[in-house]
A = this chain, B = another copy of it.
Amino acid sequence: MARTAGSDGGRTEAAIREAAVQLIARHGFEAVTMRQLAAEVGVQAAALYRYFPTKEDLLHTLMREHMEALLGAWEAARADNDDPLARLTSFVANHIRFHVERRHATHVSNMELRSLSRDNLTSILKLRTAYEKELRTILRDGADAGLLEVDDTGLTAMAIIQMITGVIVWFRPDERLSVDEVTATYLAMTMRLTGAKTNAEDRHVRQDAELRAR
């Protein structure tokens, strides 16, 4: 009826976050009740309020940390490289790996925006916009250098992000394809989609080789 033996605030909070991500990803934020979440963690509902002041604050925390982790992963993965094609490759590969590894959290961050209040929504959208801007910059640099054929930078960035984020809709680990195989295929599609010059060159090299072999 009170503090349980061996209870630990740090562990409980981590368990709440984990359970919340799973439950919200599966049922949606509005459909998950604090009692349901508490039961999953193994505590009473009131105990949740020691760690998060409100249900919405819990959601906002999960989203903010997910977006910050995404931006952090990109900063770590980005080769300090001048080559736009290498940067584009890094971006797509990092995005797919990160999203496959955190399918549930991504689902939450993408689907539950409408459950946030104005201020909380604004703070998440700011992070999201910053991330999208990274891709737009790469595409513009690539187009300026004559390495990419991009009609509309903003529109192409949205198309690519939607395409590569869509992986989480159908991808399941331990099925037909590995993460690396999926990444390779999506990279090839991205390069074709943006008219990347290396791709065209590769194709010509291959064609030439075939012709010479005859």
Contact = CB atoms under 8 A, between A and B. Distances in A.
A88 to B, nearest CB: 14
Contact of A185 (B28, B114, B155): B155
Q: Give the number of times this chain occurs in the complex, counting copies.
A: 2
Contacts of A182: 155
Nearest to A182: B155
Interface in A110-128: 111, 114-115
Main SS of chain A's interface residues? Answer: helix
A145 interface: no
Contact of A30 (B28, B158, B170, B186): B28
Interface residues of A, number: 34
A68 to B, nearest CB: 22
Interface of A: 26-31, 111, 114-115, 149, 151-152, 155-156, 158-163, 165-166, 169-170, 177, 182, 185-186, 188-189, 192-195
